[in-house]
Amino acid sequence: MKKRLTLSQKRMINGYLFILPWLIGFIFFYIRSILLTTQFSFSRLSVETVGGYTLDHVGLQNYVYAFREHGTFKQILTSSIFNMVLDVPLIIFFSLFMAILLNREFKGRTLVRAIFFLPVIMNSSAIATALRLSEQFVAGGISAGSSQMSTETVSSTVNVSYYIDLFGQLALPNRVLDYIVAAVSRINSIITASGVQIVIFLAALQSIPSSMYEVAKIEGATAYETFWKVTFPMVMPHIITNVVYTVIDKFAESDVVTLAYNTAFTTEFNYGLSSVFSLVSTAVTCLILILAVGFLQKRTFYYN
Amino acid sequence: MDTGKSVGIKNRIRTITENPKFVNSTRGMKADFKKLLIKVFSFVVIVGICYVILSPIIGMIVSSFMSDSDRYNPMVYMIPTSPTLEKYKISWARMNYLPTMGRNLLYSITLMLIQIFICSMVGYGFARFRFPLRRLLFACVVVMIVIPDHTIMLPLYMTFKNFDPLGLVSLFAGKPLVLMGTPIPMYIMTIFGCGVRSGLYIYIFNQFFRNLPKEIEEAALVDGAGIWYTYFRIMLVNAIPAVVTVAVFSMVWQYNDTFYANLFLISENIVISKKITTLQSVIANVDKILDTSIQELYLSAGVVLIMLPIIIIYVALQKYFIEGVERSGIVG
């Protein structure tokens, strides 16, 4: 009666066995959780002392509250998105540039690569919080912002506003100028945020077959042309990878996440509202990801 | 014969173009100058950016050795005049360093081992087996990478606050388990492939296994090795670069993770990085050191202490790690 399984059937079952732990986890922790979060966002949740919770269905009330009454949600959401949109192209260009520099042969290359990856290793939000706190302590709470600015202008020997004026006189559009100034002032956060991206681009650059460069050289292409006609199209698929990674990474540490966490666990204990914040911000991020990937995918050349 | 000749010609061309004796035309000099300029430029940029990355770390290390008088002396820059280990001593004591660090390393390393084991298994399953819904399920892995953790944090909190899967626990113990404040939720999630950034690790392993030649497994199968034996003894051994990559990533991210540690209220006696946020106020209250700029010195000593193990692990594995990232999956 017992039917013997064919090899492919056996392998099928084994395949399921291999992914089984993850599958259970995914269904239990992710699918169930997302459904629950959605349910929470439509209800008022009250935690009972014995354990467990009760849900009262309140319809769209949480959403209406978040968008029409809550004091800071909209500002924080827009500023997070704006920061993300500002940072992502900068990080991508910076890391591509650095990867090209690091891809050359020079002495101490491994050391420099190790240093470039250090910020990823040391990226501990606990330590960042501690340092920020202590800065506030030193500067004295509320006055921290202004005193910091004043020390900066005193200590820096470069008169920044002079250069800004100079660029202004070059008749650069104000928007562009603002963007450049913002970019330069963010250089620190951009460098620390692009460790993984640099490594990905480095790997991409090394996977480009050298015969392509030889052909380009024989055909008489200049370095500039080689970059735009060979290097850039070949790393384009990895630009998508990096955009996705950067968006997720930036989003995970944005203020919306903190707001959602605080609303649930420290300030208001309003779980429904927190779910709304989480869901809305996730939806926005996914939308940005889909738009960006769709936009880039059309322009991407796949070698294989 | 022919090739030998062409190599000879190539060599001659090279001697002509690269030997400075032959390059005396202005065009060659211009090209040389351009090359030099590019070299200098890239050197300056690289050194500058290394400085931006390293300067806060150097500053922290320096100030952790400073004594109080150094702090008040505006002449002291970079090199403390009377270096002391006192800051380390007190921070060490206040953080209860050795036991806490031991527990923390135990916690991160066990989780890392589970991550490697589970994620490599799942990645292998996706890479080498054909089964219905495979593509859809793999898309789920990508979804897992993309979805931010905080979308699912509330249900997770609720789940582990009264842990009662399928009503089994209350069937045996009478009431649901409270797992908050213990590291058990983290272990449970990691065992089921949903730990800190597990999706990414599954992806890395999947890409790596896909690029390994199939012949190895076929040979093993022909020689009579079972599928599980093949996976453990042959595939996992071949995947060392991916394993090192995932090991470093998961170790570091687990160690630095505060999101889950806060969500599950894991005690600061297990997660040492939680202690650093309170270290300054502990020093202020216990040791009665009220000058904030002196407190900062203790804080930087604490930060150095906390970063130390991670830095050591990174430096030790650095070579394999960067190689591993390049060779293994991240680049698909």
Domains and CATH numbers, chain A: 64-126+190-304 (1.10.3720.10)
Which pLDDT value is given to residue B128?
Answer: 86
Nearest-angstrom CA–CA distance, A298 and A240: 11
Sequence letter at residue A246: T
Give the mean pLDDT of chain A: 80
Q: Cβ of B152 and A25 within 8 Å? A: no
**Coil vs helix vs strand at A56:** strand
Sign of the Cα pseudo-torsion (B286, B290, B295, B296, in order): positive
Out of A17-31, A102-116, A178-192, pick the least confident: A178-192
Which residues of chain A does B144 touch, with a Cβ-Cβ cutoff of 8 Å?
26, 30
Q: Cβ of A126 and B130 within 8 Å? A: no
User: Given pLDDT bands bounded at 50, 70 and 90, which one contains residue A139?
Assistant: low
Which pLDDT value is given to residue B119?
Answer: 93
- Asked whether the predicted pLDDT for residue A50 surpasses 70, the reply is no
Nearest-angstrom CA–CA distance, B139 and B134: 9
- Asked whether the predicted pLDDT for residue A178 surpasses 70, the reply is yes
Q: Cβ of A248 and B148 within 8 Å? A: yes
The CA–CA distances, whole Å, from A134 to A128, A266, B83, B256 equal 10, 21, 22, 19
Structure-token pair, residue A172 = 């650069």
- Best interface-test mutation with B: which of A10, A16, A29 has the largest number of B CBs within 10 A? A29
Longest Cα–Cα distance in chain A: 90
Which pLDDT value is given to residue B108?
Answer: 92
Cβ density class A125-134: b for 16+ within 10 Å, e for less: bbbbebbebb
ipTM of the complex: 0.79
Whether the Cβ atoms of residue A177 and residue B35 lie closer than 8 Å to each other: no
Alpha-carbon gap: B189 to the closest alpha carbon of chain A (Å)? 7
Nearest Cα neighbor of B253 from A235, A76, A125 is A125
Search chain B and give the residue with CA nearest A194.
B53
User: Given pLDDT bands bounded at 50, 70 and 90, which one contains residue A148?
Assistant: very low
Sequence letter at residue B33: F
Q: Cβ of A98 and B322 within 8 Å? A: no
Which pLDDT value is given to residue A92?
Answer: 93
Whether the Cβ atoms of residue A279 and residue A41 lie closer than 8 Å to each other: yes
Which pLDDT value is given to residue A207?
Answer: 80
The contacts of residue A58 (CB under 8 Å, 6+ apart) are A42, A43, A44, A272
- Asked whether the predicted pLDDT for residue B173 surpasses 80, the reply is no
Rounded to 5 degrees, φ, ψ at A13 are: -65, -40
Nearest-angstrom CA–CA distance, B242 and A196: 15
Which pLDDT value is given to residue B20?
Answer: 53
- Enter the pTM of the model: 0.81
The domain locations on chain B are 2-65, 86-327
Whether the Cβ atoms of residue A158 and residue A166 lie closer than 8 Å to each other: no
**Coil vs helix vs strand at A106:** coil
Structure-token pair, residue B219 = 């040979």
Which pLDDT value is given to residue B307?
Answer: 87
Give the mean model confidence (pLDDT) for residues B212-226.
84
Q: Cβ of B252 and A121 within 8 Å? A: yes
Which pLDDT value is given to residue A151?
Answer: 42
Nearest-angstrom CA–CA distance, B86 and B67: 8
Which pLDDT value is given to residue A114?
Answer: 82
Nearest-angstrom CA–CA distance, A201 and B330: 10
- Asked whether the predicted pLDDT for residue B13 surpasses 70, the reply is no
- Asked whether the predicted pLDDT for residue B258 surpasses 60, the reply is yes
- Best interface-test mutation with B: which of A12, A18, A206 has the largest number of B CBs within 10 A? A18
Secondary structure E strands in chain B: none
| DSSP codes, A207-233 | TS-HHHHHHHHHTT--HHHHIIIIIHH
Out of A109-113, A277-281, B1-5, B51-55, pick the least confident: B1-5
Which pLDDT value is given to residue A2?
Answer: 55
Structure-token pair, residue B124 = 């292998």
Q: How many CB atoms lie within 10 A of CB A24?
A: 15
Q: Which DSSP category does B233 fall into?
A: I
Q: Cβ of B155 and A32 within 8 Å? A: yes
Q: Cβ of A278 and B153 within 8 Å? A: yes
- The reply to whether A130 touches chain B by the CB within 8 Å rule is yes
User: Given pLDDT bands bounded at 50, 70 and 90, which one contains residue B109?
Assistant: very high
Percent of chain A with pLDDT over 70: 88
Sequence letter at residue B202: I
Sequence letter at residue B26: T
Nearest-angstrom CA–CA distance, B23 and A167: 41
Cβ density class B136-151: b for 16+ within 10 Å, e for less: ebbebbeebbbbbbbb
User: Given pLDDT bands bounded at 50, 70 and 90, which one contains residue B328?
Assistant: low
Structure-token pair, residue A239 = 């630009």
CATH 3.20.20.140 assigned to domain B86-327? The reply is no
User: Given pLDDT bands bounded at 50, 70 and 90, which one contains residue B105?
Assistant: very high
- When comparing pLDDT for B148 and A98, which is higher? A98
For chain A, the straight-line distance linking the first and the last C-alpha, in angstroms and rounded, comes to: 48
Which pLDDT value is given to residue A95?
Answer: 92
- Give the DSSP H or E segment for B298: helix B292-327
Give the mean model confidence (pLDDT) for residues B307-320.
83
- The reply to whether A123 touches chain B by the CB within 8 Å rule is yes
Give the mean pLDDT of chain B: 82
The contacts of residue B99 (CB under 8 Å, 6+ apart) are B269
User: Given pLDDT bands bounded at 50, 70 and 90, which one contains residue B172?
Assistant: confident
For chain B, the straight-line distance linking the first and the last C-alpha, in angstroms and rounded, comes to: 41
The 10s digit of each residue's pLDDT in B189-213 is: 999 988 888 998 998 888 888 878 8
| Residue in the structure block whose two tokens are 């591993």 | B324
- When comparing pLDDT for A92 and B239, which is higher? A92
Which pLDDT value is given to residue B146?
Answer: 83
CB pairs under 8 A between A and B: 251
Which pLDDT value is given to residue A67?
Answer: 86
Nearest Cα neighbor of A123 from B56, B174, B319 is B56
- Asked whether the predicted pLDDT for residue A157 surpasses 60, the reply is no
